[in-house]
Structure 1
Amino acid sequence: MLLFKLPIITTIALLSLFIVPAHAQSQRNHKEQERPDPTKPKASRPSNQSRHQKACVSRYKSYNPSSDTYLLRGKRVRCRL
């Protein structure tokens, strides 16, 4: 009985060598994609912030430009720079 199953198992094993799994194909395509040049400077967006907002952002980590406030001991305080 084992001799009868041996050709079937061998055939399946050989066929599995030629079939490329879908996840391997997607990885191959992913690696072929063009990568950005690290030496090329990135395009920056024009800043819509005023000098006041830039000063507040640089001074207070919790500064919120839309409300012009920052956190001080758990309370929102208006930036006066």
Structure 2
Amino acid sequence: MSGDAELSGIVIAGGRSRRFGADKRRLRLWGEHGPHLLGHAVMLLQPLCVETVVVLNDAETWPDLPARIVPDEHPGSGALGGLISGLQA
């Protein structure tokens, strides 16, 4: 891969959190004042990518997320549906 490649990162942030029992995206890392899991994932991608796309269906609850938020065009189809939505974006 050449050093001047422009990459986009995709974060699939949907799901029902059935096994986890709570919204994983809002899990605080490193204590109550740490970043949310979703915000941290976006932050890790930003230095590596020219654009970060987050696939989720509740954009209004993430107004300060520094990424392009796109809806899951295939809700209920799992991670593959989210990935397709991110790639289409």
TM norm structure 2: 0.18
- Name which one, 1 or 2, has greater alpha-carbon Rg: 1
Q: Which structure's residues are more often strand, by fraction? A: 2
